[in-house]
Amino acid sequence: MNAACCHEQNGVVHQSIGAIGACLVYGFLCRIIPGRWLIHLAIASGVLSTLAYLLVEGE
């Protein structure tokens, strides 16, 4: 295996762990926070994560 292949696999592993974590957090929050607020929080977190990505990439 070359270094690029390992790097891509690590990215997939991290993405999978993040997806599982997000599911666990959602399962916990959906019992506490009303659905209307969850929609607003999802939109806000999507915007913030996009802005953070753009800052990291420097574009």
Structural domain boundaries enclosing 52: 3-57
Residue 4 clears pLDDT 70, i.e. is over it: no
Cβ atoms within 10 A of the Cβ of 26, count? 13
- Residue-wise pLDDT for 22-58, tens only, equals 999 989 988 998 989 989 988 999 999 999 999 998 7
Tell me how many domains the chain contains.
1
Q: For the chain, how many helices (H) and strands (E)?
A: 2, 0
Q: Cα(37)–Cα(22) distance, rounded to whole angstroms?
A: 16
pLDDT of residue 2 exceeding 80? no
- Has residue 21 got a pLDDT over 90? yes
Q: What is the pLDDT of residue 3?
A: 54
Q: Given this model, what pLDDT does residue 14 score?
A: 87
Give the whole-angstrom CA distance, residue 26 versus residue 38.
9
Q: Is residue 44 classed as helix, strand or coil in its secondary structure? A: helix
Distance CA 25, CA 52 (A): 20
